[in-house]
Amino acid sequence: MMKKKYVIIGNSAAGIGGVTGIRKEDKTGSILLISQEKYHTYSRPLISYWLQGKVTRENMSYRDDHFYEDNQCETRLGVAVTNIDADQKQLTLDNGETVEYEKLLISTGSVPFVPPIKGQKEAQNCFTFTTMKAAEGIKELLNEQSRVVILGAGLIGLKAAEAMINQCKSLHVIDLADKILPSILDSETAQYVKAHLEEKGMVFHLKTQIDKIEDQKTFLSDGAILDYDILVLAVGTRPATSLAEKAELKTARGIVTDTQQLTSQADIYAAGDCTMSYDMSAEMDKNMAILPNAYMQGEVAGLNMAGKATIFEKAFPINSLGLLGMHIFTAGDLNGECKSVTDGEDIKKFYFKGNYLKGFVLIGDFVRPGIYANLIRQQTDCSTIDMETMMKTPQLAAFNHNERFKKLSVAH
């Protein structure tokens, strides 16, 4: 059996973050990276761009071709881990191998949630939309005669829709919720975006669900029947925790970790979409399936595994989303007291809790949105800055001289 100092399960942002984190501290210790998918690490969010034809397969790689070599990282791609023996510190792989580890990182990401729909299991040309494999499957079928039906008006569903809208005959989006992008938009902004998408040819069926699927037809709860050539189920994702649960790691809305990404089991760390983490903006634990956090958690986990105590806490959701020429920035928690600033077409909404900015939504061509995001990250007391001008345009001028001096005139 093979022995490795570090073993990482998962080949996406968190896993790669893990490798990078480890190598920052430990240049020599052996690393083994295991992934169910056979591909060199690639950027999951890019599958919609690929389907849309905006990026080539090569440009999808998340790190360059010699990333593994450069980091002396051995890989097992297309191989799944079937069991984790936390006491023996051993892994069993589906190719029969067993691997002994000193430190383990679980970054298995998320799995698409497939709702129980009558006839779904037997359904033809029915896909989820989180992996390259799925995207490849769709692309094979997709042509200008295709009738596309997408279940789910969330981020994944709409990115899939954006990818296909100009390559198909018709495209319907179905969602149980009363608005699109429910997780990041309020009704007003959702309506605004929806209008834009409808203009581009999408047809929405909200407050609606699929009752059953039968020979390439979807039967909707409102009685309508839609023929489809391609059906995409994009209702959402779930943290991939099955392995962890088998190994009896503590889980809730994802694998539970401390701020050093350590799980309930010694020497087992977890990072990324498969974990539950603390959303500082909403001030609650949740599963934040977004890439930047995944990477950062992965890196923190890696550093801790290699012995450098590091803490990850500044987590909050952010989304930068382009939909057919309309750009949407959202960050943080959208439940606070809302102040909105509209100039012309563009929409800006800020959500406060007391003096603190908790979240915002920007729709339109905005520059320097990171300055707003940083107000959330730094938990800046907005009464200490000129928030009025700040809300008009993001600017460092809204800070006092000393703050600016810290930002622009001392080393970072």
Partner 1 sequence: MKRIYVNEEWCLGCHLCEYECAFANSGETNIVKAFKRDLKPIPRLHVEDAENGIHFAVSCRQCEVPYCVLGCITGALSRDEQGVIHIDDNKCIGCRTCMLMCPYGALTINHNKTVTKCELCTDNNQEPACVQNCPNNAIVFEERE
Using CB under 8 A as the criterion, which residues of the chain lie in contact with partner 1 when the complex forms?
13, 43, 45-46, 49, 54-55, 59-64, 291-292, 295-296, 299, 318-322, 327, 329, 331, 365, 367-371, 373-374, 377-378, 394-397, 401, 404-405, 407-412
Contact present, 251 and 146 (Cβ < 8 Å): no
Smallest distance, partner 1 to C-beta of residue 166, A: 17
CB of 140 to partner 1, least distance (A): 23
**Cα separation, 213 vs 255, whole angstroms:** 33
246-261 burial, b at 16+ Cβ within 10 Å, e below that, comes to ebebebebbbbbeeeb
Distance between CA atoms of residues 99 and 80, nearest Å:
12
| Least distance between partner 1 and beta carbon 73 (Å) | 16
Token digits for 372? 């707003």
Contact 330, 200 (CB under 8 A): no
Which of these, 240, 243, 241, 213, lies nearest to 227 by C-alpha position?
213
Residue among 231 and 290 whose Cβ is closer to partner 1: 290
Least distance in angstroms from the C-beta of 313 to partner 1: 14
In terms of CB distance, is 64 or 144 closer to partner 1? 64
Nearer to partner 1 by Cβ, of 125 and 319: the residue is 319
Give the strands of the sheet with 251-252, arranged side by side.
Answer: 251-252, 254-256, 275-279, 284-286
How far is 300 from 293, CA to CA, in rounded Å?
Answer: 10
Residue whose CB is less far from partner 1, 355 or 395? 395
Q: Min. distance of Cβ 295 from partner 1 in angstroms?
A: 6
For residue 14, what are the CA distances in angstroms to 38, 111, 231, 269? 17, 15, 30, 11
Name 72's Cβ contacts closer than 8 Å, sequence gap at least 6: 23, 28, 30, 31
With tokens 């990850």, the residue in question is 312
Cα–Cα distances in Å, from 355 out to 2, 186, 375, 398?
55, 22, 11, 15
As measured in angstroms, the least distance from the Cβ of 56 to partner 1 is 9
Handedness of CA 361, 322, 298, 78 (dihedral sign): positive
Nearest CB to partner 1, comparing residues 248 and 345: 345
**Three-state secondary structure call for residue 79:** coil
Work out the angle between the directed axes of helices 291-305 and 13-25 (0-180°, nearest 10): 30
CB of 261 to partner 1, least distance (A): 15
CB of 368 to partner 1, least distance (A): 3
In the complex, the smallest distance separating the C-beta of residue 206 from partner 1, rounded to whole angstroms, is: 26
Cα separations in angstroms, 124 against 119, 216, 229, 412: 10, 7, 9, 55
